[in-house]
């Protein structure tokens, strides 16, 4: 969403500068709302990732499981 807000804001600025077309006031409001919504979603994703890692760590399980242990004696290849 933040990227789409940046793209839309760039479109509005270029359209105004190159063609002199005035845009209504709600266009800038929409751009700001999209950008802020994108930042909130990014923040929620970071918090979710953090909570997921804390949950997995709180189980106190090893990060991997060993299927079998192979012993090597010095005389065998």
Write the DSSP string, 2-55: HHHHHHHHHHHHHHHHHH-----HHHHHHHHHHHHHHHHHHHHHHHHHHHHHHH
pLDDT at residue 72 above 70?
Answer: yes
Residues 4-58: tens digit of each pLDDT = 888 888 888 888 888 888 878 888 888 888 889 989 999 999 999 999 999 988 9
The phi and psi torsions of 45 (rounded to 5 degrees) equal: -65, -40
Give Cα separations from 42 to 5, 21, 25 (angstroms): 14, 33, 27
| pLDDT value for 46 | 98
Would you say residue 70 has pLDDT above 80? yes
**pLDDT recorded at residue 76:** 67
Grouping H, G, I as helix, E, B as strand and the rest as coil, residue 58 is helix
pLDDT at 1: 74
């Amino acid at each position: 969403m933040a990227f789409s807000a940046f793209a839309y804001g760039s479109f509005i600025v270029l359209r105004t500068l190159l063609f002199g077309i005035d845009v209504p006031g709600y266009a800038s409001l929409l751009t700001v709302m999209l950008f802020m919504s994108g930042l909130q979603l990014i923040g929620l994703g970071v918090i979710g990732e953090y909570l997921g890692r804390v949950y997995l760590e709180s189980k106190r399980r090893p990060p991997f499981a060993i299927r079998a242990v192979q012993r090597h004696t010095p005389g065998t290849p």
